[in-house]
Structure 1
Amino acid sequence: MIWRAPRVAKALANPHNNFGLLRLAMAVAVVISHAFSVTDGRVEQEPWFATTGFTLGEHAVNGFFAISGFLVTMSFLRRGWRDYVLARLLRIAPGLIAATLVVALLIGGLMTNLDLAAYFRDPRLWRFISATLTSFKSAAALPGVFEGNPLQFPMGTVWTLKYETLCYLGVLIAGVAGLLAKPRLALATLAALTLAVVLREVLIPDGPKGAETALRLPLIFLAGGVVYLYRERVTLSLPLLALALLALVPLAFTPLYKAALYLVTAWGVIVIALAPALTRRSVEPPADLSYGVYLYGWPVQQALHALFPALGAVALLWPSLAVTFVIAALSWFLVEKPALGLKRRLLRAS
């Protein structure tokens, strides 16, 4: 029965969960979604966009932020600020630095229509590297690279890392200030953000996409964190999740739809990750390729479209996924996993 569903706190004691599998599935969903926009520069023809108002990739990013909010809040409260800062820094920075250099120096050098010496002398190359690493700029182009593609920028997914980093910083500040020990304050902030989303839909429903994103991602991240803070009370009910998803259908025609979608998404991915009915066996991937798939999927698809412009979205998808998984595996074993091992050594040394 719904009211007898297990609570999050109890499920966390179980040996298995689906967080790694969900992250990988969401990264693949982003690659699937981008196959449409890479080939013709538009998202309107994607089925998920037509039916839900968001692309499959946007839904996947929403899920990423919910899981991230849940796990990093747990990380801070369980391990303290030093472990938290090292973990966040060493999880994000090494993979991003490596991906930026691979894309700019290797893929860019192979794909540019400039003379190679001119390419490496071009200040736009070094501005690209600097802007990607310091401000997570995803709309920057490389000189002579992908100029015939509908969208010319080679790292189209890094923009979300800006919001992710700001959310990480918010958890750090709240944790050091002792605010994470006050769940009601977090719940009140979540309510305020939810109200802001609803008011935006009432007052400026066709407003800038950037303003919508600036509310959407922090709200979903915070919702994931609130689920952890109220882990003794929040239930993991699959029937209730099904009812919540059905309730979104009539809400789709009201200003409440987006706020409800964000909250259901945040809670729903935690349910799928922890519900005992879905976690009786370990289904965790042997390697965490999700970050690499997320970072490299876009530049791989851009390169394949530049080489084979006649390929449609579906035809482009399968080879791009295969190549992306190979590069993501190299990223994990050569860069990301050693960086996480460095974290453990640094903590022991301190």
Structure 2
Amino acid sequence: MIGVVLFTTFIVGPWMTSLSLNDYLHSGETWQYLRTIMIYPLPPGLPGVFESNPYSHEVNGSLWTLQLEMVYYASLLILFFVGGLKRTRLLVLFLIVNLIHFFPMSFGTTYIELYRYFLIGMLLYAWRHVIPIRHRYALIFIVILWVFKESAMFYHLFLLVGAYLVLYAVYKWKLPTSFQVILGNLSYGMFLYGYPLQQVVAYYSPSAHAFLNFIFALPFTLLCAWLSWCLIERPSLQWMERRMARTNHQQAYKEHNQTPTTT
């Protein structure tokens, strides 16, 4: 998060702004944008950046989801302490949240709506040992989505069927292990850097179709995601693993020394 905020503020911003570099760096909006690192609240944008884009002034439109994710992961922690992570209880919670979703609410609508997707991911993980990933099932589900593509049911079917198809795509079409070792885990980096880089493409090619915009931005997004993985994410994970191993070793040593010996 820190990396992408610094990247957009001090690389993309000076490059894309309509202001002079001096005015950009002396603008209060530039330094306020650094508060994005804290996630709450998310500042509007950077001065003079992407003013003429279809989504004007939007520097990184993906980051708003992080606010929701923080709430969802907090709920995961609560569920852990109250014993709510058992498969049947998760299923009941999923059904309750879906029921609430159909009632009009004056607040929290987005949180409830997207919490269903978070819960379906938890359910799929909890039931992972009994869910078969088969080509024929994926084909059936694709046909179902196609049949209902113009129906109001499509949105609700996609919650279940689409989640299965994501698992199918991940586990049946995954890269060879050697490529995964070389590339690393690029998913989070692509999430962080994809939007601002697509905004850059939209600035230079405003008439480009959305698919072409994606294709043009993809190699640059992959490069930034790979650099983020190599320079930030992987070293952070390795540091955490070493710290946890050291803590576990110290705890085991302390327990060993506290164990009474008999002669």
Contact 1:194 1:219 in 2 (8 A): yes
Deviation at 1:165, TM superposition (A): 2.2
Structure 2 gap ranges (5+): 248-263
Secondary structure of the residue aligned to 2:39 is: helix
Give, as a single letter, the amino acid of the residue that structure 1 aligns with 2:233: E
Q: Residue in 2 aligned with 1:25? A: none
Corresponding residue of 1:3: none
CA distance in 1, matches of 2:178, 2:95: 34
Matches within 5 A, 1:191-202: 191-197=95-101, 199=102
Task: Please state if 1:172 is matched with 2:77.
Answer: yes
Look up the equivalent residue of 1:264 and give its one-letter code: V
Is contact 1:223-1:267 (8 Å) kept?
no
Structure 2 partner of 1:115: 20
User: Counterparts of 1:162-311 in structure 2 under 5 Å?
Assistant: 162-180=67-85, 182-197=86-101, 199=102, 211=109, 213-252=110-149, 255-274=152-171, 282=177, 285=180, 286=182, 287-309=184-206, 311=208
CA contact (8 A) 1:297 1:321 kept: yes
Could you tell me the TM-score, scaled by structure 2's length?
Answer: 0.78
Q: Which residue of 1 aligns with 2:33?
A: 128
- Unpaired runs of at least 5, structure 1: 1-95
Q: TM-score, normalised by structure 1?
A: 0.61
**Relative to structure 1, is the Cα distance of residues 122 and 185 closer, same or farther in structure 2, using a 3 angstrom cutoff?**
same
Post-superposition offset of 1:220: 1.7
Distance 1:307 1:235, change over 3 A: closer
Once the two structures are superposed, the pairs formed by residues 307-322 of structure 1 within 5 Å of their partners are 307-309=204-206, 311-313=208-210, 315-322=212-219
Give the Cα–Cα distance (whole angstroms) in 2 for the partners of residues 260 and 313 of structure 1. Answer: 25
Q: Distance in 2 between matches of 1:159 and 1:98?
A: 17
Specify the code of the residue in structure 1 equivalent to 2:5. T
Aligned to 1:340: 237
Identity %: 27
SS at match of 2:121: helix
Distance in structure 2 (CA, Å) of the matches to 1:169 and 1:242:
36
Shift of 1:172: 1.5
Q: State the structure with more CA Rg.
A: 2
Number of aligned positions between the proteins? 244
CA distance in 2, matches of 1:326, 1:248: 34
Measured in 1, the distance between the counterparts of 2:204 and 2:221 equals 16
- Residues 40-189 of structure 1 mapped to structure 2, 5 A cutoff: 96-131=1-36, 133-135=38-40, 137=42, 140-151=44-55, 152-180=57-85, 182-189=86-93
Q: Which amino acid aligns with 1:186?
A: L
Assess if the C-alpha contact under 8 Å between 2:63 and 2:192 holds in 1. Answer: yes
Question: What SS does structure 2 have at the residue aligned with 1:179?
Answer: coil
1:128 is displaced (CA, Å) by 1.8
Contact 2:4 2:192 in 1 (8 A): yes
Give the AA of the match of 2:235: P
Change in 2 beyond 3 A, CA 1:236/1:306 = closer
Shift of 1:255: 4.7
- 8 Å CA contact 2:39–2:66 kept in 1: the answer is no
3-state DSSP class of the match of 1:147?
Answer: coil
The structure showing larger relative contact order (alpha-carbon pairs under 8 Å, at least 6 residues apart) is 1
